[in-house]
Amino acid sequence: MTKPSSITFHDIATDQIAALEGQIAIFVSPDGKLDMSGRKVNTLSRKAISRFLESDTFQKASVGTVHAITCPAGVAAETVYVIKLPRRPTRDEARKAGVALGKRLGVADLWLLAGSLSGIENVMFGLVLRNYSFGKHKTSQADTKGEVHVAVSDPEALKAQFAPLAAIAEGVFFTRDLTNEPANVLTTTTFAEQLVALEEIGIKTEVLEEKQLHELGMGSLLCVGQGSDSPSKVVVMQWNGGGDENPFALVGKGVVFDTGGISLKPGAGMWDMTMDMGGAGVVAGVMKTLALRGAKANVVGLVGLVENMPSGNAVRPGDVVTSMKGDTIEVQNTDAEGRLVLADVLWYAQERFEPTGMIDLATLTGAIIIGLGHENAGVFSNDDALCKAFLKSADTEGEGAWRLPLAPAYDDLLKSRIADMKNIGGRPAGSITAAQFLQRFVKNDTPWCHLDIAGVASVSKETK
């Protein structure tokens, strides 16, 4: 797994700054005031910092901006970064500064001279997340990054403050690695193996193989993978950090590669379908973070792992399959496969665990990208309280999410002439009819949110 930047915490005296090698970062408030470390660097560099602070470049720069002074006199460091940030920044301002710094981090070590700056843990969090790169399959080591050293007035206190964010970063990196892996590496089997390895940090893991899935009656999930040589699986991950209460359930779509099956996708861009397991990747990352943080909660993560391939044994348009719930489904489009996977896993989660609530995540529809672009995930829910809590959390973290409706009129579009339902509802409201399909496999007393993350799981350019 790609590891977040190595971070160490120090209490460094100002007389040690001149000898620091690599890169130095100092902070300056919007009104141009330097802290003790900044004043020392300014003195050592023969007032290079103060000259910059008097420039129009600094005056016009927004909060969180990073400016590089290269090869300054008087210090061993090759670069001094000047970060414009209030002494008590908001969380967003601090993370923005960290992101801007993370863009510049190279192979040399970085010394972050933060003194008593408030919110430095959020600067570090932004830096660590922005510094992610997936270079596993490159023969060059161009993506190698230096270590980060943080010099503050109370290193142990900052280390404790940063620990929960470091656990989140570990989970984020795990999700990103899984989503970036090519399908010839991340098969259903190797995906399951990586999840079983989470037992090392206290997660109870169970892999349901095809024989068990047949016995459970998961005909909806199994039909998706029947054209592939990779066996379909369901992986159950349990984190029991709470009391005796029933767990909250997270359910993820894990299509390790999606050709569309017999309803074959166009060739252009099909290579991106390695990310069609993004929902399962998020569930895996969340479970890892919960364990690393020792969360005081009971959570179960369930992922359906399949590969959707065309072959002589693949499910055909027009076939009728039977779900674990017992409902029959006319498969009119084999490329609407994610909902077939989720239907059985959602039902299994409720039958086995009776969860207090349930959220599923899936790169489910192209229609959500048409509707919301790459800025927002689509949110659907049968429970206002759960939905509002999720939307509030998304807003707090700066993650785009937008609620869309569910209604019986959309449900009517799923009527089938030969089965209980069909798996598509036509072009209109495609994301909504997909959510309506899933809702048929959610019990009335189970609070539920469906997150369609097709537009935000993997993007080709930098996001705001």
* Residue 33 tokens, joined: 């005031």
Measured in Å, how far apart are the chain's first and last C-alpha atoms? 26
Please give, one letter per residue, the 3-state secondary structure of 297-349. CEEEEEEEEEEECCCCCCCCCCEEEECCCCCEEEECCCCCCHHHHHHHHHHHH
Active site residue 339: yes
Q: Give the sign of the dihedral formed by CA 13, CA 14, CA 20, CA 26.
A: positive
> How many helices and strands (H and E) does the chain possess?
15, 17
Rounded Cα distance between 226 and 223, Å, is 5
List 84, 176, 233, 339, catalytic entry: 339
Q: Give the sign of the dihedral formed by CA 223, CA 229, CA 231, CA 232.
A: negative
* Residue 377 tokens, joined: 């995930």
Return the closest-CA partner of residue 334 out of 264, 402, 287, 283.
Answer: 264
Q: Give the sign of the dihedral formed by CA 344, CA 408, CA 335, CA 370.
A: negative
* Residue carrying structure tokens 């007393």: 445
List 39, 87, 104, 265, catalytic entry: 265
Rounded Cα distance between 304 and 252, Å, is 7
Active site residue 293: no
Q: How many residues does the chain have?
A: 464
The DSSP call for residue 265 is P
Report phi then psi at 361, rounded to 5: -130, 135
Q: Please answer whether residues 400 and 456 qualify as being in contact, where contact means their C-beta atoms are separated by less than 8 angstroms.
A: yes
Active site residues: 265, 339
